[in-house]
Structure 1
Amino acid sequence: MAKAQGAPAPDFEPAGELKIGQVGIANLRIRTLDVGRLAAEMRDRVQRAPKLFARGAVIIDFGGLPALPDAATARALLEALREAGALPVALAWGNSENEQLAVELGLPLLARFRAQYESSAGATAPAMPDPAPPPAAPAATEPPRAAAGASRQGSGGPGLIQASAVRSGQQVYAENRDLTVLAAVGAGAEVIADGSIHIYGALRGRALAGAQGNARARIFCREFHAELVAVAGHYKVLEEIPAELRGKAVQVWLEGDQLNIATLD
C-alpha cells in the first residue's frame, strides 16, 4: 500500500531520557510531554529489568521542555509512571514556577541531577589522571584509551580502596575520587565513584562511575556479571549486554552518549 501523502515521519527518539545517578535513583528528563508514550517507555524499562526498575525511585525533570506542564497534566504523568511500575519521588530543580509546581504536587525539589545534565551538555569535566586497568592479558584490539588527564573530578585526594567484598544491600561511594574494590561486588550491592571504578573480583551488582557527571570516568572489572553499569548517568542493564561479555574482564567507557563495553583479554 502506498504511503499516504504528508504522513509524519516516525519518531524514534524517546519521549523521556532516563539517567541513573547516585544511590541508584533515576532521573527522567521529559523531552516530549506525551503521558501515554512516557508511561509505555517506563513500562518497557521495568519489564526488561524488573529487579532494577520495579518500584524504582525516579526524579522528574521538566527542564527539557519549552514550558512547564500544568498541575493536572503533571499529576496524570506521575500516576501513569506509578502504574508503569516506577515511583516518582521528586522534581528536579528549576525556576520559581517549577518550585510552585512541586508544591502543588506535594513533591520535594532536588537540584543535583539538573547540575549533572548541565555539566554533561556543555561543560568539560575537570581533568584526572588516566586510570590503569586491573592486570589482564593484553587485548588484541583494545578499545581506545582515554587521554591522559581524563579521570579525576574534584580534589578528593587518593582513591578509595575497598579491601573486603561488597555484599547485597551494601553501598560504597568514593566522593571526588576513584574507587578500587579488591574483592567481589555481590548481586544487590552498589559501588559508586565520582571518578573511575576498578574491581579486581566479580561484579554482580551495580557500578556507577562519574556519578557527578564526569563523562571521562571508566569502569574496569575482572569478571563481568553486572546488574547495571553507568558512566555519567548513561547506563546499561544486564539484559542489554551481549552474552559473550559475561564473565569476562571488561572495561566500560562513554563516547558521546554511547556507553561501550569491551573485553580486556
Structure 2
Amino acid sequence: MSMTSANLDYEQAGELKIGQVGIANLRVRTLDVAQLSREMRERVDRAPKLFGRAPVIIDFGGLAQMPDVATAKALLEGLRGAGVLPVGLSYGTRETEQLAEQLGLPLLAKFRAQYEPVGAAASAAPPARRESAEAAPAKAEKAPAANTTSPGLVQKTPVRSGQQLYAENRDLTVLSTVGAGAEVISDGSIHIYGTLRGRALAGAQGNTDARIFCREFHAELVAIAGHYKVLEDVPKELRGKPVQVWLEKDQLMIAAQ
C-alpha cells in the first residue's frame, strides 16, 4: 500500500526536554512513619505556598537497613496525607533500585551527591546532615572564593515568577530582581543586586563554601548545600535588608551586611 507524503504527520504530540529541577530531598534518619509525616505536615503548615503539594525525593541512604515495601508504601501515603507529593527515591544501592521498582517510582541519582564527601566509594552509605538551626546574627566574614570551574553566569534581566535559572559549576550573578515564585540555583555562590523574593539555592552540588548575597531580602527560601530556611524562619528585622547567607558548622546563618 502506497502513502503520499501529504498523508504523513511527523509532528510529535509531546516535546520532551531534560532540565535542572529544584526538588526537595527528604533524608530519612529514623524510620518512624508517624513522626516523619507529622514533621512534614508542620513544614507545610508553616510555609504552605512553598511546600504545599511540593514534589519530594525520598532518601533512605542514612538508614542501616532498607525498609520493606509495606513500610515504604505507608511512608508514601503519610507524606501525601501531610500535603506533599513523593515523586521518586534517591539513588543508593541495588536494594534501593529494587524498592523503587516495587513502589513504581523512578530512581534519581543526582539527589545523593550532596551527601557524599569527595572521593567516597559508590557503595558507601552517605552520612546524614543535620537540618539547619535558627540563624543567629553574626558579623559576616569575607566570603571565600567559590569552588567553580568556569566563569560566572550573569543574568541582566529580572527572573520572573515561574522561571528557573541554573548556573552549573559556577557562580550566579543577577543584576536585577528575583520575583516571587522564581528560582535561582547555582553550584557556586549567588549574588543578587536587587530584591530576592523567590528561592535561591547555592552550593547545589554540595559546596558548603558557597554563599548568597542580596540587596533586599524577602526570599521564600534560601539554601546552601541542602541546608535551608524559609521566610517564616528568618528574623523579621532582616526582611527588606541587604543580607548574606552562609554555612557555619552545618548551621545556616543569615546576617545583615
SS of match in other structure, 2:74: helix
Offset at residue 111 of structure 1 (A): 1.0
After superposition, residues 1-265 of structure 1 pair within 5 angstroms as: 23-119=21-117, 142-147=139-144, 150-153=145-148, 155=149, 157-264=150-257
Offset at residue 142 of structure 1 (A): 3.4
Considering only aligned residues, what root-mean-square deviation do their CA atoms show, in Å?
1.7
Instruction: Give the Cα–Cα distance (whole angstroms) in 2 for the partners of residues 256 and 89 of structure 1.
Output: 31
Counterpart code for 1:145: K
Question: Residues 239, 117 of structure 1: CA spacing in aligned structure 2 closer, same or farther, 3 A cutoff?
Answer: same
Offset at residue 113 of structure 1 (A): 1.4
Question: Residues 72, 109 of structure 1: CA spacing in aligned structure 2 closer, same or farther, 3 A cutoff?
Answer: same
**TM-score where L is the length of structure 2:** 0.83
Counterpart code for 2:147: R
Unaligned runs of 5+ in 1: 1-21, 124-140
Q: Deviations over 1:134-160 (max 9, x none)?
A: xxxxxxx7322244xx4123x1x2111
Instruction: Give the Cα–Cα distance (whole angstroms) in 2 for the partners of residues 42 and 119 of structure 1.
Output: 27
Q: Deviations over 1:110-133 (max 9, x none)?
A: 11111111138979xxxxxxxxxx
SS of match in other structure, 1:27: strand
Instruction: Give the Cα–Cα distance (whole angstroms) in 2 for the partners of residues 248 and 121 of structure 1.
Output: 39
Question: Residues 90, 185 of structure 1: CA spacing in aligned structure 2 closer, same or farther, 3 A cutoff?
Answer: same
User: Percent of aligned positions with the same letter in both sequences?
Assistant: 72
Question: Residues 81, 120 of structure 1: CA spacing in aligned structure 2 closer, same or farther, 3 A cutoff?
Answer: farther
Offset at residue 257 of structure 1 (A): 1.4
Q: Deviations over 1:26-46 (max 9, x none)?
A: 111110010000000000000
Instruction: Give the Cα–Cα distance (whole angstroms) in 2 for the partners of residues 96 and 66 of structure 1.
Output: 14
Instruction: Give the Cα–Cα distance (whole angstroms) in 2 for the partners of residues 145 and 120 of structure 1.
Output: 25
Question: Residues 120, 35 of structure 1: CA spacing in aligned structure 2 closer, same or farther, 3 A cutoff?
Answer: farther
> Is contact 1:161-1:180 (8 Å) kept?
yes
Instruction: Give the Cα–Cα distance (whole angstroms) in 2 for the partners of residues 179 and 250 of structure 1.
Output: 16
Counterpart code for 1:262: A
Counterpart code for 1:161: V
Q: Deviations over 1:91-115 (max 9, x none)?
A: 1111111111111000010111111
- In our comparison, the structure showing a higher alpha carbon Rg is 2
Q: Stretches of 4+ moved more than 6 A in 1?
A: 120-123
What number of residue pairs does the alignment pair up? 222
SS of match in other structure, 1:91: strand
Unaligned runs of 5+ in 2: 1-19, 122-137
> Is contact 1:120-1:215 (8 Å) kept?
no
> Is contact 1:120-1:213 (8 Å) kept?
no
Offset at residue 229 of structure 1 (A): 0.3
Counterpart code for 1:219: I
Q: Deviations over 1:161-203 (max 9, x none)?
A: 0000111001111110001000010000011110000000000
**Structure 2 counterpart of 1:12:** none
